[in-house]
Structure 1
């Protein structure tokens, strides 16, 4: 049985999943998951994760059950193990949007149906599969391209981008303050597949970039560090000057929500090189492909 807990889970399958998402978007889809049930556990709220999974599952003929943190007993006495075993009797898939990667792994270890990581504190594989689908949709390839990520290099997006980009044959550069550099474990694993650079901000950091990426500087759960983070990350804003360093046909991506004036200017986010709303739509298509792959 397969799970999607980390980007490493799609090694050897990544491009096929991406291609299926692009094909469904361009050429239509069938009710391949008719009468299948997706149980969705949300410890952290989200606009895109909930809507994209619900609409995607409906398009494929299936159904979803939304379980917010106040809807279930997990965390209020019932164990993760029992929750996984019970939900496995009702649903064909479980999507979990969690605070803790440790809890994510525990749920997957005890579930008897596939588990999808909808985000945790270590990785965000659904988003990075989406991002790579968006890159391929616009560039017609992944191999040989260069991605540059600006901002918090230690967060879940940076971790999954390191793994996903190199797995797909892309070079990736993480541009971040030293205190927010990614953990060695992610850098070393990514370097098994491809070229990785980790650096502080400098002139020309986006040079030759095909893709420029950023993410929010203050994720849910980091609010107590907001003042410190905004000060440290201010020089890492993606603005018109950064985009001018990149290739003329470079695209800009952000998984949203965006905080204009912090990690990116609205001029860039809503500008001609931005594909953030294609990216948001592609969450649905990429996750449809993921669910089909897991139940294949």
Structure 2
């Protein structure tokens, strides 16, 4: 089999995880697996020849930008990267006007920015697919990579996997993880202090999905309840992009009990527990921010210890690579009609 075009579902926009049905989600993971194999074996057949994609990032990025650019190069498409300094988006040109103009030049738009309303506005006015490469509320391409990583690194089917997110439970990664896990029928737990728990509306939506999929969704302040028998512990930075540095003074006391270290890994009671992180991570004091945290709070690393981050249980670099394969699967699915002569 050489084609990677989804066989059972074709998606349009991907703005948040709930845009995907379970069959579509599972097909994207199957496609990503095939695409990963093709890249490793040197058997890629470019399927996006002649197409051009706009990659608009108002927030900086290493992994997501690289994933889009390399995926597009592999598939033979043109890629134009724009940041806040090289476009008029949001400053002197509206999202509506930008969407309508770019639709005349490009075949798809990847957008990374701030509020979810921005990517929604692009999609509302674009006549081409729009993909959310991160907003304050959702990070669906990250969750896809997370699911592929868990699928690859456990012998269990995903619906039998227990994944626990610890830390800032109201961030975009936690929202997407919880919702995607609910779609796929998994046991997902969010352990976070009361002020940093997920938006109740997001939890309610995930629980509604779980009622149909057979998933289990738990949100708690109790670390031991959340991590019991977990196959994966997942965490993220304690202060997200765009938040003030003063937030650390508030967050560190709240979140230190949720820090993933060797003791936390052993408390799961599962000797095979693995570690996930979307990156970047503050796991030592070698970076400028890591040094500040060490000097100010006495923590060598914040959300995760260096020992766990670099342990044999860590799957963080697998997640980073898998961003490329799952993003490629998303773009191929969205652009399927254009690659089948219907352009």
Query: TM-score, normalising length from structure 2?
Result: 0.84
Q: Distance in 2 between matches of 1:244 and 1:152?
A: 21
Q: Which stretch shows the higher mean deviation, 274-283 or 22-31?
A: 22-31
Q: Distance in 1 between matches of 2:35 and 2:92?
A: 42
Question: Please, what is the CA RMSD of the aligned residues?
Answer: 1.2
Q: Which runs of 4+ in 1 moved over 3 A?
A: 201-205
- Residue 283 (str. 1) matches residue 323 (str. 2): yes
Partner of residue 253, structure 2 = 231
Partner of residue 244, structure 1 = 266
Q: Distance in 2 between matches of 1:61 and 1:115?
A: 19
Partner of residue 281, structure 2 = 258
Q: CA deviation at 1:76?
A: 1.9
**2:226 pairs with 199, 205, 218, which one?**
205
**1:154-184, CA deviations, whole angstroms, 9 ceiling, x for partnerless residues?**
0101111111011111111100000001011
Q: CA deviation at 1:234?
A: 1.1
Q: CA deviation at 1:116?
A: 0.4
Figure out how many residues of one structure are paired with residues of the other and give that number: 296
Q: CA deviation at 1:204?
A: 5.0
- Residue 118 (str. 1) matches residue 128 (str. 2): no
Q: Distance in 2 between matches of 1:93 and 1:292?
A: 11
Contact preservation (8 Å) 1:17, 1:289: yes
Partner of residue 59, structure 1 = 74
**2:64 pairs with 32, 39, 49, which one?**
49
Q: Distance in 1 between matches of 2:135 and 2:182?
A: 21
Q: Which stretch shows the higher mean deviation, 202-211 or 269-278?
A: 202-211
* Runs of 5+ unmatched residues, structure 1: none
Rg larger for = 2
Partner of residue 221, structure 1 = 242
Partner of residue 161, structure 2 = 145
* Runs of 5+ unmatched residues, structure 2: 1-10, 284-300, 337-343
Query: TM-score, normalising length from structure 1?
Result: 0.97
- Residue 159 (str. 1) matches residue 175 (str. 2): yes
